[in-house]
C-alpha cells in the first residue's frame, strides 16, 4: 500500500474519531443536557488548524497530480481543493458558534448546535467521497513513479492531538476520544454477546458453539432432571430443570462470568450463521 494513502487514511480515521466526540455533544444537547463548551472550543481549535496546515495540503498534492496525469478524473470528482476551502469556512463557523458573547451561552446553544451538525455532516460526506472515489481513482491511475514522487515530496508535522506527544491543552480532548472508543468497544461486545445468545436454541447448539471455539465444555441433560455443564468431563455447574434454550443461555453466561471469551472472528461467524438461518 502506498505510504501517502496509508497516512491519509490514518488521518481520516483520527478525524472521524474527533467528529464522533463532537456528535456526542449534540446528542446530549438533544436529550436536554448542556454541551461541554470547553471540549467543543478545543475541537474547533483543532479543526481550524491542523487539517488545513497538514492534512488537506497532502490531499491537494495528490489531487493536482491525479488531474494532471488524467484530466478525465476531474469530471469524476468535485474540486477537492475548493471543497477544502469550504471545510475551512465551516470549521471557522463552528469555532465562532462555540464562542458566544459572554453571558449568552444558554440562548446561543440551539443555534450553535445547528452549525455543529452542518459542520460534522459535511465533513463526513467529504471524507466519504475521498475514501470511496478519490483514493480509489488515485490508486488506479497514478503510476509507481507518481507515488514515489508523492512519498518523497509529502511533508508531515506532528499531530497536536493524536501523536504520542499530545499537546497539554488537548490532553482532555484526547482522553474523551479514548473513553468514547472504550465505550463503543464495550457496546460492541454486548451486541456480539446478544447475537451469540440468539444462536443458542438448546443443548445441541451450545455444544456446537463450544466445539467451534475449541472449548472442552459440554452441556448435558442429567438423569434426575436439570442440566450439567462439564469442562474436561468435570461438572462445574448444575442448572435446575428449565427449557433447553434457557439452560444453554445460563451455561453461556456462566462461562462469560468466569472470564471465558469468545474469539472475535468466530463470534462474527456465529452471528452471520444465525442471521442466515433466521
Whether 188 maps to a domain, the answer reads: no
Mean pLDDT score of the chain: 80
**43/127 same-domain check:** yes
**98/141 same-domain check:** yes
**114/237 same-domain check:** no
pLDDT at 191: 58
**229-265 pLDDT tens trace:** 999 888 988 999 998 888 888 888 888 777 766 554 4
Whether 177 maps to a domain, the answer reads: no
Torsion of CA 156, 123, 111, 50, to 10 degrees: 0
Question: What predicted TM-score, i.e. pTM, was given to this entire model?
Answer: 0.61
Stretch among 1-5, 9-13, 211-215, 232-236 having the lowest mean pLDDT: 1-5
**140/273 same-domain check:** no
Whether 189 maps to a domain, the answer reads: no
**146/204 same-domain check:** no
**90-149 pLDDT tens trace:** 999 999 998 865 444 544 577 888 999 999 999 999 999 999 999 999 999 999 899 888
Higher pLDDT, 23 or 171: 23
**35/86 same-domain check:** yes
**51/94 same-domain check:** yes
Does the pLDDT value for residue 166 go beyond 70?
no
**132/246 same-domain check:** no
**78/214 same-domain check:** no
Mean of the pLDDT values across residues 26-33? 87
Of 110, 144, 165, which closes a domain? 165
Whether 192 maps to a domain, the answer reads: no
Whether 233 maps to a domain, the answer reads: yes
**137/13 same-domain check:** yes
Whether 266 maps to a domain, the answer reads: yes
Whether 182 maps to a domain, the answer reads: no
Question: Which residue range(s) make up the domain with 237?
Answer: 199-277
**245/119 same-domain check:** no
**8/131 same-domain check:** yes
Whether 234 maps to a domain, the answer reads: yes
pLDDT at 274: 43
**Structural domains counted in the chain:** 2
Amino acid at each position: 500500500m502506498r505510504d501517502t494513502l496509508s497516512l491519509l487514511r490514518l488521518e481520516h480515521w483520527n478525524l472521524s474519531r474527533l467528529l464522533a466526540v463532537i456528535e456526542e455533544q449534540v446528542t446530549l444537547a438533544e436529550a436536554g443536557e448542556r454541551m461541554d463548551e470547553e471540549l467543543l472550543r478545543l475541537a474547533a481549535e483543532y479543526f481550524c488548524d491542523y487539517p488545513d496546515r497538514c492534512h488537506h495540503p497532502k490531499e491537494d498534492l495528490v489531487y493536482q497530480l491525479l488531474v494532471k496525469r488524467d484530466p478525465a478524473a476531474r469530471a469524476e470528482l468535485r474540486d477537492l481543493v475548493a471543497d477544502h476551502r469550504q471545510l475551512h469556512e465551516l470549521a471557522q463557523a463552528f469555532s465562532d458558534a462555540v464562542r458566544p458573547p459572554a453571558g449568552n451561552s444558554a440562548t446561543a446553544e440551539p443555534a450553535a448546535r445547528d452549525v455543529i451538525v452542518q459542520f460534522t455532516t459535511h465533513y463526513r460526506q467529504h471524507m466519504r467521497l475521498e475514501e470511496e472515489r478519490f483514493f480509489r481513482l488515485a490508486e488506479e491511475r497514478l503510476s509507481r513513479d507518481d507515488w514515489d514522487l508523492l512519498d518523497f515530496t509529502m511533508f508531515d508535522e506532528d499531530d497536536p492531538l493524536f501523536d504520542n506527544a499530545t499537546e497539554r491543552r488537548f490532553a482532555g480532548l484526547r482522553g474523551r476520544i479514548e473513553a468514547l472508543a472504550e465505550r463503543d468497544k464495550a457496546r460492541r461486545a454486548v451486541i456480539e454477546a446478544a447475537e451469540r445468545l440468539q444462536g443458542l436454541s438448546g443443548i445441541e447448539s451450545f455444544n456446537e458453539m463450544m466445539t467451534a471455539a475449541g472449548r472442552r465444555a459440554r452441556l448435558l441433560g442429567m438423569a434426575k432432571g436439570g442440566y450439567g455443564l462439564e469442562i474436561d468431563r468435570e461438572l462445574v455447574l448444575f442448572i435446575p430443570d428449565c427449557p433447553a434454550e434457557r439452560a444453554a443461555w445460563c451455561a453461556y453466561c456462566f462461562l462469560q462470568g468466569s472470564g471465558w471469551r469468545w474469539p472475535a472472528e468466530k463470534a462474527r461467524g456465529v452471528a452471520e450463521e444465525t442471521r442466515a438461518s433466521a
